[in-house]
Amino acid sequence: MSGANDAHVLLVRLAGPLQSWGITGRFARRDTHSRPTKSGVIGLCAAALGLPREEPLGELAEVRFGVRADRPGTSLRDYHTVGGGRYPLRPRDLITDHQRAARATTDPSPVPPLDDAPEPGPFGRAELEAWYGSPKYVTADPASGALVSAQLRRHSLITERWYLADAAFLVGLEHEDRALLERVAHALEHPKRLLWLGRKACPPSGDLALGIAPGSLRDAFETHALLPDAVGCGTGSPGARPSARPWAWFESPRPIPGVGPLSDQPVRFGADGATHGLRWETRHRITIAAHARGWDIIL
């Protein structure tokens, strides 16, 4: 990366009702970081550009990453359950699980027909109690050779998912190649794939690409006003809240003594799972300049 005098910064607004930037989430518990991750933002840009999953990220992963928390948002916990209760029995369930087929044919209380439609038979919408999902762990019965499910009873799965509610961040992508940043900016406003803020249930709102500024990440954050989404700044003017000094995080080009690394440096987004490396960052309070540039954007 060249010096700050040769650098350009693409400013990206990430705001919406919900965001979720997972770091260590696995299985039943899906966490969120307190701010957008580099992996999540680069993935957003790669989706906008329409890059295939197996394609190397190249210069896109080499940008210097920074984020300013104009409105940090609040943590929201979603108590989430999957399965349980009654569900429609599908034809393939009867084929792969002879015990279900036997129960379906003797079920004394089939599902009531819709309107005047004929009552469905066992290969229609017969339902069973206390089952979750379709049969899993299907194997051959050693006696009959029929395909059966080795796990017959299903129960509800309870998961915990965390989100950031009503948050707004100003992200900066710094690179010496202005043409690269221009391509990314155009793609964010004309994406080739659907975009979301960490998870598919979190679409972004309003404008994303806010323009390209000369100089370093810190210069860009100090010379641009708080986003209009920020609390107490209805016009986006720092004068509405002169004491506001938002936190900002800046990627460091080298390891920092005494600071633990983050595992969100994207290497590849393969279909078999993403690969990440380590990176370091510093945190600073940002004092927005009195002559900071305001915003004229769609929220």
**CB-CB contact of 22 with 198 (8 Å):** yes
Residue 94 CA: distances (Å) to CA of 89, 101, 125, 206: 8, 5, 11, 48
- pLDDT reported for residue 2: 43
- pLDDT reported for residue 215: 95
**CB-CB contact of 244 with 234 (8 Å):** no
What global pTM score does this model have? 0.74
10-residue mean pLDDT profile of the chain (299 residues): values are 73 96 79 94 96 90 96 91 56 55 52 46 44 54 65 66 94 97 97 95 94 96 91 42 76 86 90 87 93 85
- pLDDT reported for residue 79: 86
Rounded CA gap, 182 and 177, in Å?
9
- pLDDT reported for residue 100: 56
Which class is domain 4-79+162-214+246-284?
A: alpha beta
Delimit the domains of the chain by residue range: 4-79+162-214+246-284, 84-155
Q: How far is CA 61 from the centre of its chain?
A: 18
